[in-house]
Structure 1
Amino acid sequence: MLQKLRDKTTGWIATLILGLLIIPFAFVGVNEYMTGGAANDVATVEAPPHWWKSAPSWWPVSMLWERREITLDEFRAEFEQVRAQERQAQGEDFDPREFESMENKLRVLQQLIDREVLALASAQAGIVIGNDAVARAIATEPAFQVEGQFNLERYQLLLSQQNPPLTPQAFEERQRERLGMLVIPQAIGESDFITDKEMERLLRLLGETRDVTIAMVAPPAADAAEVTDAEIKQWYDSHGSDFRQAESVTLEYVEINGAALPAAAPADEATLRKRYEDEKARFVDPEQRLAAHILITVPADADEATVKAAERKAASLAEQARGGADFAALAKAHSEDPGSKDAGGELPWVARDGSMVKPFEDAMFSMQAGEISAPVRTDYGFHVLQLRQIKAGQGRSFEEVRDELAREQAASDGERAYNELAGRVVNEVLKNPTSLTAAAEATGLAVQRVGPVARNAPVGIVAHPSVQRAAFSEALVQDGTVSDPIELAPNHSVLIRVAEHQPERAQPLEQVRDAVIAAIRADRQDKAAQAAADALLARLAKGEKLQEIASAENLQAGQLPGLQRGMQVPTQEANAAIFAAQRPADGKPSTGKVALGNGAWAVFSVDKVNEADLSAIPAEQRAMLRQQVAQMDGASATQAYIDAMRKQYKVKVMEDRL
């Protein structure tokens, strides 16, 4: 038997088949090796290579496609940024639980995907952003300016405060990519326009007002008629989605909170002095230098002649400065650095910390005070430096920083105690991954319980987004194992286990019978109100006036002369319905009905349409409106471009990882 198998698997045909099978497995193996088998992306965007835009997507040609990934960390950072913006915009009305909806997550993810699509499209279009454009964008950014001028010290400070901190070089590359992404959308947006005829029609529509009469429909009496079992059954069967019980979990959890641990004993003098000696370098202010410079820029794609000409100009300026010419005047007249030119080329105090590009920094820290440098080449061009002052580094004594060291040591001891406790809990859980009891007993912590908690109404610790994601994850629900520590805040985490799980399910009719009856009666009342509104409309169609009907029937009514489009009068929906109604014709008003919410209805009649007086619209207002319309049309055209590019690319979204 084995010999027959061997005979059948030899020869060139078998070798070819095995070779074809090995290729995909080889790539899978490489991918597993490089990523460790742990996928961390929530979306991918793949584009055909720029040199073969019509390349098919089938294997193995798809391996040539350019690929961009959106990682879970990138998504979470963007989601938190959007959360902060929404919280600031909505204030007390912000609902964190509603914000955590899958709809919001997908909305944010789609924005990230659009960015990657634009980045790929720009790269494939061969768009290159030069150093000058990057420098101008940074220099004109208001966040980096002080009193209207670019401030290098503020620039460096803001970059250092990012999480994680950014070097100027890394930030410049980000700006380069961002500017590259904006080239095509800006060109599309700026190419849009609106004709005079379109503008006139829009102004007439926006300036139009309507004289309206509106009457509230008398609310029907509370429905007290019998609701039969057949009606209840029919409503329940046809509105099943309204009577479902949300998925819920009951959790057991152990909370590890560093703030609840006993305070560590104050560090002794010897410990603090050792810490001071070990970290003495950070208590020494580094040497700083104050310089001015003149920049002669060189484009990234400059030819050799252009480079030589720039170098000769820089050398000439250096000679003039050495010969006694005023350096500040030379900088104002010749420097091409927009951030320092007007200040005579002066820069803020700089330490040797990588905040300046290396050739510039090396030259500055090799000079003596008052010295003028030879031309220094960087990616921006040629610099002529004048070193003005040197500020030697100064250190702080142990006595000056003792209190700071004591606070840091206390925080360090507290964090160490927290980590040790968390480590002991995790070690105990590893011995029995399906229970928290042994871990709690071994560490003196309590096993707490919460639930059942519905997915759409989280409470307690389940309201924390990370806990909610874990609690309803397939792994914890199916396996019943204890989670990894979930961080709630620094030095504060929980380990959870799903003790009970109830999937989303239909609620039995017996359980929701009263809610079904209430829904049927509310529907009856709404239909009765609509019927009353229809009866009023029928009378209006026969020629009666709405104001006369309202007086005769004791209905609440009123007139709205000169009602403007878009006003929330009486409601936004009612205003939209009024302006959607036909114009009055042959002296007869145009009528309609509209729901006002909570079962209330109103009937309206449009008695007259007042045309806009275009001559009364100032030229400035017209120009502003034209610009706004062009911007909106440009934004729509840009989105259409992104949508078209997405159809050419392969976009994959992993919703289960959000």
Structure 2
Amino acid sequence: MLQSLRDKTSGWIATAILGLLVVPFAFFGMEQYLFQRNDTFAAKIEAPPTWWPSAPAMWPLTMLWQRDEISAEDFRAAFERSRQQQRQQQGEQFDPREFESIGNKRKVLDTLVDQRVLAMTAARAGVAVGDAQVRREIEKIPAFQVDGKFNPQRYQLALTSQAPSRTPRQFEQEVRDSLQQSMIPAAVAETAFVTPSELQRLLRLLGEKRDVSFAMLPPPPPDAGPVSAVDIQKWYDSHAADYRVPETVSLEYVEINGATLPAATAAADDDALRQRYVQEKSRFSEPEQRLASHILIKVDPKASAAEQKAAEAKAAALAQQARQPGADFAALARANSDDTGSKAAGGDLGWVAKDVMVKPFEDALYAMQAGEIRGPVKTEFGWHVIQLREIKAGKQVPFEQVREQLAREQADADRDRVFNDLTGKLVDQINKNPTTLVPAARLANLPVQTIGPFARGQGTGIAANLALQRVAFSESMIEDGTVSDPIELGPNHSVLIRVAQHTQAHQLPLAQVSQRVIASIRGDRAAKAQAAIADKLVAQVRAGMPLKELAAAQHLAASDVPAVPRGAPVPDKLTADAIFNVPPPAPGKVSPGKTILADGRAVVFAVSKVIPGDPAEASADQKASLQQQLSEMAGADDVEGLVKALRKRTVVTIAEDRL
């Protein structure tokens, strides 16, 4: 039998079958061995090659696709930045637990994906950002300015004091990337426009005025009529939610506030501050700066040798001219430089610190003497002629000038340390006995306080905090009666709670609320009677009877107000909105309407004339401002549509487990 099997599997037919089987295994199995990797991305964006935009998303064709990944670290950094922004905006209402929801994480990640998609699109389109543009953008940042002007020292200190610190080159790359990804959407937004006819139509609408007459009915008289038991039961059944007692809790809690801890007011120790000053000495040094100007002869890195040589020769000739006695370097720069960022200023680059310019330029600049002109100097942007006008030596800021800053930082660090240590001890003690706050409070010398009962959304003090309410009304806290984890109320401000008493929401019996039900029925009958009177008046006005005569017949005062402008509270905001919502009246007719005010009064009105706004009444500045607002709104819609269209052309893979 074995020989028979061997004979049947050794012929050309068996070989052909084996060959056919190899093909699918090669395409759908081998890549698992050849391309094994340990993925760490939070999101992966893949786009087809520019030369084949319709390439199908199937292996092995996906090997041709362009890829970008958002690492888990990038996502966490963006998520933390968003957390800080939300905390600053919401203050005590900030809910850390809600912020940690998967929906919010996806929202932050989607923003990052949109940014990367735009960056990929810009790179694929060949969009580049020059050094001059990056420099101008950085110089506009207020955090790097002193008296409204860019200050290199402030720039260096600001970067080193961040957590984590960044070098100027790293920050410049971030700015460059941000500018690159924003250039296409900015260009798209700038193309949005509003036609003159659209602007005229909107001006006529915004400036519209209406002639109106109105009469105000007094509040309805109290309804004192009898209410039957059937009506009472029917109202009670149909408005059951109005007669429920909400769920409530009473809490025991221990509050930990870093601002009131003893270490928060401890005096700073000079020896410790000096030691910190020595350890972080680089933060308080003023780097050497050089006042420089340059002339750039731009040349593409891919240019031919002849083009490169011609650009170098031009730069050499300009350098020679600049060295001549009495030569005006600024005039030469204005006439010849290709750097649009500095050309108009005569090539002035301002005070330049290290790690600001590209390396070949920086190396040449820092090898020069004051008053020297050097060139040509080759960089990726072309050939430079550099003038060093002045040198400002670096210096160390003395301890005395930064002592107060160090003391504040030390106090903050001490406060954080004491707060974290105390919180840790409390949690450790509670873990030993999670059903009571007393031992932990005694250990921390903090009081156990009580608050409540309160319902959802009705607490005061710390009970008004939404994060605390979510924990207090959670099923586990109510059922177990255990102490919660620390709930963050603010920076260095937390609270641990335990539900001491819980009352379920329940329906109040009819016998207990019968008087409230009767009052509601009578109030509803009075309101309906008032609305019926107003509806009758509206119907009579619509039939052609003058509102003034109808009002006089009911001893009501009617007012005629011509040319009521849009937005004017005549006679009140609710009625004013209704006046401009009714359709324009037909010739010889009026457009009536009514509103019921909060105090029960009714207003019946009749619009007799609509006066379109006159665009000529708007000033040139008002027209320009309105046109800009409309263009910006249209541009924002266009950019949103662009991003959606670009997302459809990419394949985005989300790693939910890494969020």
**Letter matched to residue 130 of structure 1:** A
Partner in structure 2 of residue 216 of structure 1: 216
Number of aligned residue pairs: 623
Residue 129 in 1 paired to residue 127 in 2?
yes
- 1:480 Cα offset (Å): 5.8
Residue 293 in 1 paired to residue 293 in 2?
yes
Residue 446 in 1 paired to residue 444 in 2?
no
- 1:584 Cα offset (Å): 2.7
In the aligned structure 2, how far is the partner of 1:317 from the partner of 1:101? 63
Secondary structure of 1:438 counterpart? helix
Cα shift readout 1:20-71 (whole Å, capped 9, x = no counterpart): 99x99xx99966xx59xxxxx8xx7967656787789999999998665895
The change in CA–CA distance for 1:122 and 1:53 in structure 2 (over 3 A counts) is farther
**Letter matched to residue 550 of structure 1:** A
In the aligned structure 2, how far is the partner of 1:224 from the partner of 1:101? 50
- 1:257 Cα offset (Å): 3.5
Residues 203, 614 of structure 2: 8 Å contact kept: no
Q: Specify every segment of 5 or more residues in structure 1 that has no aligned partner in the other structure, as ranges.
A: 1-11, 36-40, 88-94
The change in CA–CA distance for 1:101 and 1:148 in structure 2 (over 3 A counts) is same
Give the TM-score taking structure 2 as reference length.
0.72
Cα shift readout 1:596-619 (whole Å, capped 9, x = no counterpart): 444332111112233555676677
Q: Specify every segment of 5 or more residues in structure 2 that has no aligned partner in the other structure, as ranges.
A: 1-17
Residues 287, 351 of structure 1: 8 Å contact kept: yes
The change in CA–CA distance for 1:421 and 1:81 in structure 2 (over 3 A counts) is closer
Residue 562 in 1 paired to residue 563 in 2?
yes
* 1:68-217 aligned within 5 A: 71=75, 74=78, 77-78=81-82, 81=85, 113=110, 116-117=113-114, 119-121=116-118, 123-124=120-121, 126-132=124-130, 134-135=133-134, 138=137, 141=140, 143=142, 167-193=167-193, 198=198, 201-217=201-217
**Letter matched to residue 211 of structure 1:** D
In the aligned structure 2, how far is the partner of 1:346 from the partner of 1:212? 65
**Letter matched to residue 533 of structure 1:** A
State the identity %: 42
Partner in structure 1 of residue 461 of structure 2: 460
Partner in structure 2 of residue 38 of structure 1: none
In the aligned structure 2, how far is the partner of 1:436 from the partner of 1:454? 22
The farther-off stretch of 577-586 and 109-118 is 109-118
Secondary structure of 2:496 counterpart? strand
**Letter matched to residue 134 of structure 2:** A
The change in CA–CA distance for 1:215 and 1:404 in structure 2 (over 3 A counts) is closer
The farther-off stretch of 584-593 and 173-182 is 173-182
Secondary structure of 1:580 counterpart? coil
Cα shift readout 1:388-443 (whole Å, capped 9, x = no counterpart): 44444445777887787777766665655444433433333344455433333333
In the aligned structure 2, how far is the partner of 1:419 from the partner of 1:86? 23
Residues 272, 405 of structure 1: 8 Å contact kept: no
In the aligned structure 2, how far is the partner of 1:307 from the partner of 1:198? 52
Residues 156, 355 of structure 1: 8 Å contact kept: no
Residue 536 in 1 paired to residue 537 in 2?
yes
In the aligned structure 1, how far is the partner of 2:148 from the partner of 2:269? 50
* 1:522-533 aligned within 5 A: 522-533=523-534
The change in CA–CA distance for 1:405 and 1:249 in structure 2 (over 3 A counts) is same
Residues 253, 495 of structure 1: 8 Å contact kept: yes
Higher Rg = 2
The change in CA–CA distance for 1:384 and 1:422 in structure 2 (over 3 A counts) is farther
**Letter matched to residue 285 of structure 1:** S
Residues 136, 341 of structure 2: 8 Å contact kept: no
Cα shift readout 1:469-499 (whole Å, capped 9, x = no counterpart): 6556677667665555455455x34352442
In the aligned structure 1, how far is the partner of 2:563 from the partner of 2:166? 57
Residues 254, 448 of structure 2: 8 Å contact kept: yes
* 1:394-413 aligned within 5 A: 394-395=395-396
Q: How large is the Cα RMSD of the aligned pairs?
A: 5.6
* 1:209-608 aligned within 5 A: 209-228=209-228, 230-239=230-239, 249-262=249-262, 271-272=271-272, 275=275, 278-279=278-279, 281-282=281-282, 285-296=285-296, 298=298, 303=303, 310-324=311-325, 325-337=327-339, 340-352=342-354, 354-377=355-378, 381-395=382-396, 416-433=417-434, 435-464=436-465, 467=468, 471=472, 482-489=483-490, 492-499=492-499, 505=505, 507-508=507-508, 510=510, 519-608=520-609
- 1:206 Cα offset (Å): 4.1
The farther-off stretch of 604-613 and 112-121 is 112-121
Residue 609 in 1 paired to residue 606 in 2?
no
In the aligned structure 2, how far is the partner of 1:398 from the partner of 1:587? 85
In the aligned structure 1, how far is the partner of 2:85 from the partner of 2:309? 47
Give the TM-score taking structure 1 as reference length.
0.72
In the aligned structure 1, how far is the partner of 2:642 from the partner of 2:292? 46
The change in CA–CA distance for 1:140 and 1:366 in structure 2 (over 3 A counts) is closer
Cα shift readout 1:242-282 (whole Å, capped 9, x = no counterpart): 6666665544433334444445876777x459727843835
Secondary structure of 2:605 counterpart? strand
- 1:546 Cα offset (Å): 0.7
Partner in structure 2 of residue 91 of structure 1: none
- 1:192 Cα offset (Å): 4.5
Residues 377, 383 of structure 1: 8 Å contact kept: yes
- 1:115 Cα offset (Å): 7.0
- 1:294 Cα offset (Å): 1.0
The change in CA–CA distance for 1:135 and 1:284 in structure 2 (over 3 A counts) is closer
Residues 372, 384 of structure 1: 8 Å contact kept: yes
